Chain A
Amino acid sequence: MLPAMSAPLPADASPPNFDPAAAYPEVDAVRRALRGGDWPAVQQIFAGQGSDGRDVLTRAAGEVREAEGFLRSMAQRDPTDTLAGTLWASWLVEAGWKIRTGYRAQHVSREQFAAFHDHLRRAEQVLIDVTAREPGTAEAWTLRMMTARGLELGQAEARRRYDQLSRHVPHHLPAQAQLLQQLCPKWSGTFEKMHSFARDCMLAAPEGAPNAMLVAQGHLEHWLDLPAGDDERYLRDPPVWQEIQEAAQRSVRHPAFRRVPGWVWAENTFAVAFSLAGDHTSAAASFAAIGHLASEFPWAYLDDPAAAFTRYRDKALAKGTAK
């Protein structure tokens, strides 16, 4: 497990830090090892991790732009090295989605789509081999859920990949979050299926596990899809608010909750959901836990994430201390 940073003081007013390395020092270690072309060091860092930690590090490795040549050569040198394959695929997936951008399909050019698909296909072919050799590689399956979505391979195929992963690693939150995306209407799913999947994940996970954050994430996806005005009303709707509360109680507010990799992301999700729902008191507990540790999502759904983080944290902590 990644050792988490100690809890920041509730009054932490420093600007948000969106770098995952702020919470997980191994991220920086992996970056250094990749930039230095030190493969044994990379292997050593991964060897000490559980599947959640490996997922965080795999995604972080994919974001090291200058590691392209090194990762490609490591993957080609030994096709049986599943770590090298996974990290190279992560790099390709990350590069592909950067080319595509996060805009809706109609704002993405034909050339962008072609390059995006080309990157995902290359990643997918590496990952087919990785999961064939080691079907228990959770982070490779998580990436394959991203390639399946981008290549539009279909709802049933995404589900099959998730089921294959679950057979080996149950309750793998990063993959569950990917399937949640796939189940959104923007990727040919339905809100009904998405909410029901989030709830199933919450109920199946052990007490205090972070998986219940998917319920809040699901409501944020729903919020994102609604026109301005309706969206806020949606999150303030008592049944929706209650579900987010229940999810928080089962995860981040549960006595068994531990700061395992992914905890920053879970707390940030509740911070955003409660803030947008106007429940700054509930948001205060999450802000108190994270201090300045921000996660890219779901803040990226808001205009100027850093400013939004500061604004909502100020509101929440004002409420929290006024209480």
Chain B
Amino acid sequence: MIQHIDLDGVPTLLAPTTGPTLAGLTFRVGRADETLARGGVTHLIEHLALHHLGMADYHFNGMTGATVTTFHTEGSPDDVAAFLTGVCDALSDLPLDRLEMEKEILRTEDANRTRSVTEPLALWRYGARSYGMLSYPEWGLSMLGRDEVRAWARRYFTKGNVVLWIGGAGVPPGLRLRLPDGDRQSLPEPTSALPTTPAYFAGSTRAVAVESLIRRRTAGGVFAGVLERVLFRTLRQEGGLSYTVAAVYEPRDSTSASVVALVDALPEKQDAALGGFVDVLAAMRVGRIEQSDLDAVVAKSRDVLDHPDVRTGRLPAYAFNMLIDFENISIERLRDELAATTVEDVHDVAREAAESALLMVPEGHDARWAGFSQAPVRSEHAVTGTRYPSRESAEVGLVVGPDGASLVAPDGLVTVRFDDCAALLAWPDGGRVMIGNDAISLRVEPTLYAVDPSALSTIDQRVPVGQHVAMPARDPDEIPRPVPPPPVRAGGPSRLETFTFAVVGIAALLFVCLGGLMTMGVSADAEARGGEWAVVATVWFIAAILILPTVLLYRRRAAARGQR
């Protein structure tokens, strides 16, 4: 049984364990609560709260997720008490003198982090807000001042917004949770960047991935398990197309969960991995689901539930459910629900997953052929304002007006409105990137567009200050340089060529006339001898020599005219 107790006004979960004591504090705050321009504040607070423990010799960690932030540890009851008490004390009185130092550490952590292949999925589904935040770097760090950090901690890291969970014999002696009072914070409202589903976008890797939103239920987890088995069998064992195959079910809130499935692909087999993936999803959607796969997944889940420490293992998930007001169900009921799951239940989930699917295809591929619409990569409307031509192509222009900015090119347009701008990244060299709430971004590079200072100041003034992000100076190599447009008259005649054409042409004409006159003259002369005919022949010969280059030059000029 999991016991519910109260410790210093904090709801606390207690479960027995066979190993050392483990415990954690789970707060209802994460990346999805942040804004793009101030993103990173939760992670920064997590680091500040752990700073004083830098040299502790027991195992501990902090984790900032989408909607919860957890501090957890494992060790003797004394170590656990010291850790959790210390974290709470640090959270209620953050060591803000460490602010800039921790920002640097976070930047280093980010630079060395291995990015998950599925990371881009979030922004394509949610845009540059709410859960979409998980696709983005923590750009807000440089903008966060002490007051902002303190206010964030005061709002989210409170007694009302946390659950303590302990796997062990009891509450470790000496544990005190000195947190400020506060209210439970509701989950962020999910945003959307997808006008329609199923949709697809081309990723920048060779992987194929899909993310689906389904109603939260036990059969959802079973569906993910079955999907993983079928993908593994079809793409790896039978097809030899993929090595990594995974599918994960994860509750998002009290009503929704996501299922993310992923396969990698050999470079020359990406098209087949995509095709095989689409066919596996289709087979499950139409209900071709094997009872044996379902049985195997249920048996595996039951094994997990039969583990003696299952209750301890479930504590973090249990705490998450409490924080989002989702009624936790007992292990026994979970076991019953698993046993009762039928092929029809899994088929039901598969249909729902297919309808809401967001598919990531390998770079250079598409999925329109399989009935997925392309997720928006362009905007529908342009703003009105002053047009600044591209330095690279006369057909491309940047428009800056009172409502926003647009990039207008023959193959489409991109618009970010000032009142719908999630972040404005600004470099000291004048470069700007505007990111819309729909995750569509617009680069304003003074090196690429003939923008005047007033255009840049319009952008800077119209985007609310809270959305500004000052970026560090760029390496000169990172500042884009324009590629000059090709000369319009490439291949056209030069002046020298025109002159030569005229001289040679006139000379040719003269010799043709001379040759004609002489031929007539000599023909009329009945006494003409061989010597006279030889002179006529020479004149014609010279005329012929001059005609040839004239014709060649004429053709070249005509060809050049045709090109334009």
Using CB atoms and an 8 Å cutoff, list the residues of chain A in contact with chain B: 80, 120-121, 124-125, 128-129, 131-133, 135, 147-148, 151, 153-157, 159-161, 163-164, 167
Contact = CB atoms under 8 A, between A and B. Distances in A.
A120 B275 contact: no
A135 B285 CA distance: 14
B239 interface: yes
A8 B272 CA distance: 45
B370 interface: yes
Interface stretch (B5-13, B276-284, B336-344): B276-284
12 contacts: A120-B369, A125-B369, A125-B370, A125-B371, A129-B282, A135-B283, A147-B369, A151-B369, A154-B270, A154-B271, A157-B275, A164-B279
B368 interface: yes
B271 A153 contact: yes
B84 to A, nearest CB: 52
B272 A160 contact: yes
A161 B369 contact: no
A128 B239 CA distance: 18
Given A125-B371, A151-B369, A155-B271, A132 B239 contact: no
Given A132-B286, A133-B286, A133-B288, A156 B279 contact: no
A160 B286 contact: no
Interface in B409-459: none
A216 to B, nearest CB: 29
B381 interface: no
Nearest to A163: B239
Interface in B81-138: none
Closest 6 interchain pairs by CB? Answer: A154-B271, A156-B272, A132-B282, A160-B272, A157-B271, A157-B275
Contacts of B238: 167
Interface in B330-385: 368-371
B269 interface: yes
Nearest to B269: A156
B279 A157 contact: no
A135 B278 CA distance: 14
A121 B369 contact: yes
Nearest to B234: A164
Given A124-B369, A147-B369, A151-B369, A156 B286 contact: no
B268 interface: yes
Nearest to B285: A132
Contacts of A124: 369-370
Contacts of A121: 368-369, 371
B209 interface: no
A128 B271 contact: no
Contacts of B270: 154, 156
A131 B270 CA distance: 21
A92 B285 CA distance: 23
B241 interface: yes
Contacts, number: 59
A148 B274 CA distance: 12
B275 to A, nearest CB: 4
Contacts of B370: 124-125, 128
Contacts of A159: 272
B263 to A, nearest CB: 13
Contacts of A154: 270-272
Contacts of A131: 279, 282
Contacts of A160: 239, 241, 272, 275-276
A124 B370 CA distance: 7
Q: Which of B241, B270, B271 has the most CB of A within 10 A?
A: B271
B274 A132 contact: no
A233 B370 CA distance: 44
Nearest to B271: A154
Given A156-B269, A157-B271, A160-B272, A132 B369 contact: no
B369 A153 contact: yes
Contact of B274 (A133, A157, A164): A157
Given A124-B370, A153-B369, A132 B288 contact: yes
Contacts of B368: 121
B286 A157 contact: no
B361 to A, nearest CB: 11
Given A132-B286, A161-B275, 8 more contacts: A80-B286, A125-B369, A128-B370, A129-B286, A131-B279, A131-B282, A151-B369, A154-B272
B14 to A, nearest CB: 49
A163 B368 CA distance: 23
Nearest to A164: B279
Contacts of B276: 160
Given A132-B282, A132-B283, A156 B271 contact: yes
Interface string B258-273: 0000000000111110
Contacts of B283: 132, 135
Contacts of A120: 369
Contacts of A135: 283, 288
B521 to A, nearest CB: 52
A128 B278 contact: yes
Q: Which of A133, A155, A157, A164 has the most CB of B within 10 A?
A: A157
Contacts of B371: 121, 125, 128
Contacts of B272: 154, 156-157, 159-160
Contacts of A147: 369
B134 to A, nearest CB: 31
Contacts of B282: 128-129, 131-132
A147 B272 CA distance: 14
B368 to A, nearest CB: 6
A155 B271 CA distance: 8
Nearest to B287: A133
A163 B279 CA distance: 13
Contacts of A80: 286
A123 B368 CA distance: 12
Nearest to A160: B272
A154 B366 CA distance: 12
B441 to A, nearest CB: 29
Q: Which of A125, A148, A160, A161 has the most CB of B within 10 A?
A: A160
Contacts of B239: 160, 163
A152 to B, nearest CB: 9
Interface in B226-271: 238-239, 241, 268-271
B119 to A, nearest CB: 26
Contacts of A167: 238
B288 A156 contact: no
Contacts of B286: 80, 129, 132-133
A151 B369 CA distance: 8
B553 to A, nearest CB: 31
A151 B368 CA distance: 10
B556 to A, nearest CB: 26
Contacts of B369: 120-121, 124-125, 147, 151, 153
A135 B234 CA distance: 13
A133 to B, nearest CB: 5
Contacts of B285: 132
A128 B279 CA distance: 7
